[in-house]
Structure 1
């Protein structure tokens, strides 16, 4: 397993970083994503993709998805007065994976293919109704 870097397009100050580092298994020029990304649009855990790192800085600027895993990805950001901590047990009990970028109160939620999508939808609707900022950059359910 190796850590690779993706260059990110910053628009209106978001994302708050210019590069995201993710874990991948590599076979030739094909990578398989091993963690839920915080800012990379179009990839979810387990997706396979091809890419050529930039010769100068080693970052990936473009990729082509070879095979989708069936996983979905949800991004959740805490808002003023809201914390995701009280809901983490419920998310984990649904079978979701949770990664946190604590500095920005930003969560990457992995939704495995075999999950009860109705229960996940109910949970995500509740979190949105409470006021959490949410995005669904990869939704396959």
Structure 2
């Protein structure tokens, strides 16, 4: 039985921590939050965390990336300090612009070996994890076709070196 005060543990048995990423809003008010908190697991390196979920708003970070954090005693939380190393995963955000587009997008993402997260309050937003073994060179043109048709908008937030090498045109 788990207790609410117990810290979750990853599949590898590492303790999980929430890490706060402070975000800067642009002139249009994006992103709609000032802080996003991601789960991460400790590594053997002091103040290094492996990101354990896909961000909705944090730019340049993907599942499995290594980051450096600092303890903010005033806020009583770990805060993102710097990027350490990429994992080979990529993050793509999808915003659904038309009803009915989600099913075909989810089917294509599943075929490509991707996973995704959704969140309350942003029903039309999907944070997609593109794993290293996925062929982003094949998936990207399909996504761009959906953008051209007006079904979705995409943001290529963190494209790994492995996935960049699969592209004719680098984002």
TM-score range, shorter chain: 0.7 to 0.9
Asked if the contact 1:33–1:46 (Cα under 8 Å) also holds between the matched residues in 2, the reply is yes
Q: Report Cα offsets for 1:23-44 as digits up to 9, x if no partner.
A: 1001330000011101111111
2: CA distance, partners of 1:83 / 1:18 = 29
Q: Which consecutive residues of structure 1, in runs of 5 or more, have no partner in the other structure?
A: none
Q: Distance in 1 between matches of 2:100 and 2:31?
A: 20
Alignment of 1:8-87 (within 5 A): 8-11=23-26, 12-27=28-43, 28-57=46-75, 58=77, 60=79, 62-81=80-99, 83-87=101-105
TM normalised by structure 2 equals 0.73
1:137 equivalenced with 2:169 (yes/no) = no
Q: Which residues of structure 2 form unaligned runs of 5+?
A: 1-15, 164-171
What is the TM-score of this pair, normalised by structure 1?
A: 0.87
Residues in 2 aligned to 1:80 and 1:2: alpha-carbon distance in whole angstroms: 36
1:92 aligned to which of 104, 107, 110: 110
How many residues of Structure 1 are paired with residues of Structure 2 in the alignment?
140
- CA distance in 2 between counterparts of 1:76 and 1:102 reads 15
Is the 8 Å Cα contact of residues 100 and 106 (structure 1) preserved in structure 2? Answer: yes
Deviation sequence 1:68-104 (CA, Å, 0-9, x none): 1011111111225464233212211110111112422
Matches of 1:13 and 1:59, distance apart in 2: 25
Change (3 A) 1:123 1:53: farther
Within 1, Cα distance between the matches of 2:53 and 2:73?
24
Aligned with 2:72: secondary structure?
Answer: coil
* Mapped pair 1:119 → 2:138: yes
Greater Rg over alpha carbons, structure? 2
CA distance in 1, matches of 2:98, 2:86: 35
Is the CA contact 1:7–1:59 (under 8 Å) kept in the aligned structure 2? no
Deviation at 1:51, TM superposition (A): 1.6
